[in-house]
């Protein structure tokens, strides 16, 4: 059963999580996932090569930020929001709220 398993809750490390989030591509993935709920890689790839995206998904997965559910050929990714909330209360909230705000700001400005 090839199901990329995410690390346990207690093993999640703040530095690792912050480092995973501190990348524009990954923060974008996280924000889109928040909006979409669940999505396969293809839906999240813009114009970037698959190998790059696969790398970013791996970083997000190993840091514990997202979970990948494999169904046939497709990999369905979703944020581990409930677990992250337990381990790092308020963290994802503050970051997702900000990316929302940033998006709104982008849409309305100029």
Instruction: Give the range of 27-35, 40-48, 91-99, 102-110 binding DNA by CB under 7 A.
Output: 40-48
Q: How far is the CB of 71 from DNA (least distance, A)?
A: 7
Q: How far is the CB of 59 from a second copy (least distance, A)?
A: 12
88's contact among a second copy, DNA, none, with CB below 5 to 8 A by partner kind, is a second copy
Determine which residue in the list 34, 40, 83, 88 makes contact with DNA, applying CB under 7 A.
40
**Sequence-distant (≥ 6) Cβ neighbours of residue 20 within 8 angstroms:** 26, 59, 60, 63, 65
Alpha-carbon distances of 3 from 42, 57, 105, rounded to whole Å: 18, 13, 38
Distance CA 13, CA 76 (A): 24
Q: Which two tokens stand for residue 8?
A: 């346990």
Interface with DNA by CB under 7 A: which residues? 2, 4, 19, 23, 25, 40-42, 48-59, 68, 72-75
């Amino acid at each position: 059963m090839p199901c990329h398993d995410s690390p346990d809750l207690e093993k999640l490390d703040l530095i690792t999580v912050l480092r995973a989030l501190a990348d524009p591509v990954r923060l974008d993935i996280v924000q889109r996932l928040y909006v979409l709920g669940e999505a396969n890689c293809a839906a999240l790839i813009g114009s970037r090569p698959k190998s790059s995206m696969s790398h970013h998904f791996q970083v997000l997965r190993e840091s514990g930020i997202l979970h990948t559910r494999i169904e046939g050929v497709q990999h369905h990714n979703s944020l581990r929001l409930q677990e992250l909330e337990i381990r790092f209360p308020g963290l994802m909230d503050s970051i997702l709220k900000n990316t929302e705000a940033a998006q709104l700001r982008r849409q309305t400005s100029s």
